[in-house]
Amino acid sequence: MVRQQPPPGSDESEMKDWLEEVDQSMGFRPASALGMSCGTVTIDPHQAKVLVIWNNRLKLYQLPKGRRNINESMLAAALRETHEETGLHVTPLKLDIATRATPPKTERADTSQKPPNITEGYPSTEFVGACMYPDPQSETEALKIVYFFAATAQCTDKPETGTQEEWEKLDAKWIPLSEVDSTLRFAAEVQTVKKTVEDMKRSGYTIAA
């Protein structure tokens, strides 16, 4: 773990040691060894339910997600993949998410100070979190990163048919938030749902008990 940056006035030796730590911790992967996927945590707050998919091939429940297309934004990819896998058009939620994205500049912005590491108090459609793991379906070694975005829809909405790829065997289902732990196969996705619920409540949304 890299130490916090040496304070102003540190001598040359301290700075050199710190930069060496940074160098040793830094890694490189070509684009071909990084898989970027995007998905949504789509919640119906009035019914306290979350949208998931049953993967008939792997026999498990998971969140809707898929690979980003070239030149496609992450949010657009998340919404498209959710529609393709579930047949539902979902709406992104603007939440007060603690993020490392820099705050928007305004006419009153203080440019004399470096922006904070973590930005809060700016409602946005930034991703709520990401799951990272070695891609088990890649023919070559690759790290897969799945970015999840908060979204909403009504569990009574009627899904479109014929939106999936021919090789996909997925069934959409709404499950109670209280059953997330026992339904989703992957613990990291359970964490993602819980983080989204926390962000929704912190942003003023009421979720039915």
Q: Which CATH number fits domain 35-103+114-202: 3.90.79.10, 1.10.3720.10, 1.10.10.10, 3.30.2010.30?
A: 3.90.79.10
The pLDDT tens digits along the chain (209 residues) read 777 777 777 788 888 988 999 999 999 999 999 999 999 999 999 999 999 999 999 999 999 999 999 999 999 999 999 999 999 999 999 999 999 998 888 766 677 777 788 999 999 999 999 999 999 988 999 999 999 999 999 999 999 988 988 777 899 999 999 999 999 999 999 999 999 999 999 999 999 97
Residue 105: the pLDDT is: 80
| Global confidence as pTM | 0.92
Residue 5 neighbours by CB distance under 10 Å: 11
Q: CA 63, CA 190: separation in Å to the nearest integer? A: 9
What letter would DSSP give residue 151? E
Alpha carbon dihedral 10, 12, 18, 24, in 10-degree steps, equals: 170
How far from the centroid of its chain's Cα atoms is residue 139's Cα? 24
- How do the domains of the chain map onto residue ranges? 35-103+114-202
* Nearest to 22, CA basis, from 40, 44, 37, 1: 1
